[in-house]
Amino acid sequence: MAAAHASKEVTSRGIPVSPGVCRGRAVVLRPVNTKIPKRELEETEIKSEILRLENAMVQTRQQIYEVQRRVTEAMGAEDAGIFEAHLLILEDRTLIDEVTRMISKEFLNAEFAVSTISEKYAATLEAIGDDYLRERVADMRDVKHRILNNLMGKDHGGELKNIKEPCVVVAHDLTPSMTAQLDKTLVLGFCTDIGSKTSHTAIMARSLAIPAVVGLKDASDRIESGEYVLLDGYNGAVILNPSDQTLFEYGQLVKKHDKRRKRLRDLDEKEAVTLDGVGIVLSGNIEQPEDAADVKS
């Protein structure tokens, strides 16, 4: 492993959501605080503004279908099914009608209407004491950002496209669609300030087999791009400036897990029998025939 840096080692603890250990230079994705324009419309502009919204919705739907197609090819139908939730948001008549009403009745532009109504829905979901519903807030905001980017002519996930070298991504949050498009050859692992094990982002990380830690609270504020970090997706630790001793210990941990995986592979062709000699059948569900290989593995 690489030599330690002179700077002091600092460890942050979060929630491990995808196993594995990686180390490398950090690339910190800072939130872009794009100011949502608020513009009062003339009555003659209403029809064209609603048409602009509808075009942005169609463009967003096409983008999500494309992400879904790529995920299906790379990871299977089950993981791609995550984006059905995004498509359902686009079909939510209550949400669409509220946005349209704000444009037509309050004479406000589409960007401001989409942002305002989407955030109202997101705040309602966040306030509900249900982990599953709170996690859908990320889906809502993912779709919102796509619609806004399309309305304002901006690229979605442009920061990730600028990554040219292997690195550990550090962000306040990663949307499910951004996570689904991570290049495994360049993104060795990622960590975020917020998130949970049940989030779609966590599910995508596990499917991609990219080590990930979430819920670090302020990692994106404390870590700078270019700093050396070690990410422990087994125990939920992110270590800034790991010492020689830490690098050695994690080298041993990686070897231990590699040996464990090898032992499991060696058991692959053996019969499934309990210690007291009772044979059992291991079964798995699949959605499509091509999923059988993953279940067998």
DSSP H or E run through 10:
strand 10-13
Question: What whole-number distance in Å separates Cα of residue 194 and Cα of residue 207?
Answer: 19
Element (H, E) at 26: strand 21-29
Please write the tens of the pLDDT for every residue from 111-126.
999 999 999 999 998 8
pLDDT for 41 equals: 96
Task: Provide the 3-class DSSP secondary structure of residue 258.
Answer: helix
66: in domain: yes
Q: Please tell me whether residues 164 and 21 are part of one structural domain.
A: yes
Q: What pLDDT, on a 0 to 100 scale, did the predictor assign at position 157?
A: 65
CATH number at residue 93: 1.10.274.10
Q: Verify that 23 and 165 share a domain, yes or no.
A: yes
Taking the alpha carbons of 152, 68, 61, 85 in that order, is the dihedral positive or negative?
negative
Give the pLDDT confidence of 178-196 residue by residue, as tens digits.
898 888 899 999 999 998 8
Residue 50 in domain: yes
Residue 94 shares a structural domain with residue 15: no
> Domain containing 189 — which CATH number?
3.50.30.10
pTM of this prediction? Answer: 0.78
Based on the structure, what is the number of domains in the chain?
2
Residues 169 and 26 in one domain: yes
Residue 206 inside a domain? The answer is yes
10-13-17-19 Cα dihedral, nearest 10 degrees:
50
> Do residue 208 and residue 245 come from a single domain?
yes
| The predicted structure's pLDDT at residue 180 | 85
CB 151 within 8 A of CB 114: yes
Per-residue model confidence (pLDDT) at position 1: 42
Same domain, 22 and 80: no
* C-alpha–C-alpha distance, residues 100 and 108, integer Å: 10
Residue range(s) defining the domain that contains residue 123:
43-152
Return the pLDDT at 283.
81
Q: How confident is the prediction along the chain (297 residues), in pLDDT tens digits per residue?
A: 444 445 789 999 999 999 999 999 999 998 777 789 999 999 999 999 999 999 999 999 999 999 998 888 877 777 888 899 899 999 999 999 999 999 999 999 999 999 999 999 999 988 887 777 777 888 899 999 999 999 999 877 667 878 999 999 999 999 888 898 888 899 999 999 998 888 889 988 998 889 999 999 999 999 999 999 999 999 999 999 999 999 999 999 888 888 888 888 887 778 888 989 999 988 877 766 766 776 777
Euclidean distance between CA atoms 166 and 213, whole angstroms = 18
Residues 203 and 112 reside in one and the same domain: no
Same domain, 48 and 113: yes
Q: CA distances (Å), 16 to each of 20, 203, 209, 229, 236, in order?
A: 9, 12, 13, 16, 4
Q: Which stretches of 143-232 are assigned E, i.e. beta strand? A: 167-171, 187-192, 212-214, 228-232
